Amino acid sequence: MTTLAPTMTKDEIQTWIVDMLHEMFEIEKNKITPQANLYTDLDIDSIDAVDIVVKLNQLTGKRIQPDVFRTVRTVQDVVDVIATLLQADEKA
């Protein structure tokens, strides 16, 4: 899996997240919509969420703060967190 580039659009990040969740948890891609709740719709548990954060940290080269990820509920929330992280990097 490729690393995320600071210039990626939210649509590109969305596609990347879908691929990542499909690879990591064998979730059908058609179920991974922006509105899908990670916990109730995709059956992600707290251990899985930690695995997602670790993977995102590796692939972005950034550290996602645990309190930030605690507010994440949907796939769109994940996309927004990553987009914000990448944009902060671009402005630095």
pLDDT, tens digit (0-9, with 9 covering 90-100), for 30-66: 999 999 999 999 999 989 999 999 999 888 888 888 7
Tracing tokens 């997602």 back to the chain, one arrives at: 52
Contact 92, 6 (CB under 8 A): no
Confidence of residue 14 (pLDDT cuts 50, 70, 90): very high
Contact 31, 48 (CB under 8 A): no
For residue 36, what are its two tokens?
A: 């899908």
Angstrom distance (rounded) from CA 75 to CA 78 = 5
